[in-house]
Amino acid sequence: MKKIFITSIAAIFFISTGLKACDICGCGVGNSYIGILPDFYKHIFGIRYRHNSLFTHIGVGGATTYLTTNENYNIVELWGGWTFGTKIRVMLNIPYSFNDKVNQDVTKAKNGISDISISGYYQLLNKRKTVLKEKLLVQSLWIGGGIKLPSGEYNPADKSVTRQNTNLFQLGTASIDYTLAAMYDIRLQDAGVNFSASYKINTANNYQYAYGNKLSLSSQLYYKIRLGHVTLSPNAGIQFEKACKDIDSNFEVDLSGGKLSLGTFGIESSFNKIAIGANWQTPFSQNLAGSFVKANNRMMLHVSFTL
């Protein structure tokens, strides 16, 4: 019995699925990339670890100044997926964040639950046929959407009153946000490529602050290598993110939004009902918050169990 590969879910996460702390490209809830999900038919649950980091207060020409701050976002995420019938899937993400930022050897930390997200998908296409001398061609197309709940703490005192600072160092956004997503996968025997697109719609919170809406696009190549009862799936691809500027009390926040392009590299392994995976993302082009922010490499690890 052949399996269907499913790819990135956008924030949802996370979800992305909005999944974490801030909404600039690639950090916190801005990072909806989760790589290639393990195969599953009915149920799946697991734990993911993400590490994202960035530099803020970057000077002219990328110079480091006494204000330059290193911000780190470490997220441990419980997640699960359920399939109803053959065409409907629902996924839940519960993240817990360990955030810190360091400036001139002074460290500030925030730990706590972040914004929980729920997403649902409907399978529009599930097609299998033999081509090219009995080679199996598999295609699938899923569309869906999600909602992010304001479960993480948002501290308005950490926002710059002059709108000349990034409002990133938060555990949650204090807003209910929505995601639209589509995922297409095509595989010929053991070689495949998948594409995903999502658009996250952010609403204003009770403090009249709305993080900018965000577009995420990704594409990945993968290949399945079978070694006895173990299957390895190395993969590589690209991701593009674009975030609009934040809105604070009907005024645009200058130091927000931007564009980010990354290369992605990962591997998935499965044995019986256990899946283990890792992914690395490295920026190759970025313009975040008017070059006031610089995104660093990201990492993701997961272990999952399928039923």
Is residue 15 a part of any domain in this protein?
no
pLDDT digits (tens, 9 = 90+) for 206-260: 999 999 999 999 999 999 999 988 999 999 999 999 999 999 999 998 888 999 9
Contact 141, 182 (CB under 8 A): yes
Matching residue, tokens 């360990």: 98
Per mean pLDDT, which range of 55-64, 194-203, 285-294 is the poorest? 55-64
What span, in angstroms and rounded, lies between the C-alpha atoms of 289 and 25? 9
- Reply yes or no on whether the pLDDT at 7 is more than 90: no
Domain with 252, as residue range(s), is 28-306
Tokens for 281?
């993302």
Rg (C-alpha) for the chain, rounded Å, is 19
Residue at 260: amino acid letter: L
- pLDDT tier at 23 (50, 70, 90 boundaries)? low
Query: DSSP label at 41?
Result: S
pLDDT digits (tens, 9 = 90+) for 65-92: 888 889 999 999 999 999 898 889 999 9
Is residue 238 a part of any domain in this protein?
yes
Element (H, E) at 128: strand 117-131
Name the domain count of the chain: 1
Contacts of 263 (CB under 8 A, 6+ apart): 236, 237, 238, 281, 282, 284
Per mean pLDDT, which range of 21-35, 52-66, 110-124, 239-253 is the poorest? 21-35
pLDDT digits (tens, 9 = 90+) for 285-302: 999 988 889 999 999 999
Average confidence score pLDDT of the chain:
85
Is residue 1 a part of any domain in this protein?
no
* Higher per-residue confidence, 45 vs 13: 45
Backbone phi and psi for residue 29, each to the nearest 5 degrees, phi listed first? -65, -10
- pLDDT tier at 133 (50, 70, 90 boundaries)? confident
pTM summary value: 0.86
Is residue 6 a part of any domain in this protein?
no
CA nearest 43: which of 207, 283, 297, 273?
Answer: 273
Is residue 7 a part of any domain in this protein?
no
Q: Domain of 257: which CATH number?
A: 2.40.160.40
Is residue 10 a part of any domain in this protein?
no
Is residue 4 a part of any domain in this protein?
no
Residue at 171: amino acid letter: L
- pLDDT tier at 4 (50, 70, 90 boundaries)? very low
- Quickly count: other Cβ atoms within 10 Å of residue 249's Cβ: 11
Is residue 108 a part of any domain in this protein?
yes
Contacts of 172 (CB under 8 A, 6+ apart): 21, 29, 114, 115, 150, 151, 152, 153, 154
**Rounded percentage of the chain residues whose pLDDT exceeds 90:** 63
* Higher per-residue confidence, 32 vs 191: 191
CA nearest 28: which of 95, 107, 105, 102?
Answer: 95
What span, in angstroms and rounded, lies between the C-alpha atoms of 26 and 11? 11
- Reply yes or no on whether the pLDDT at 19 is more than 60: no
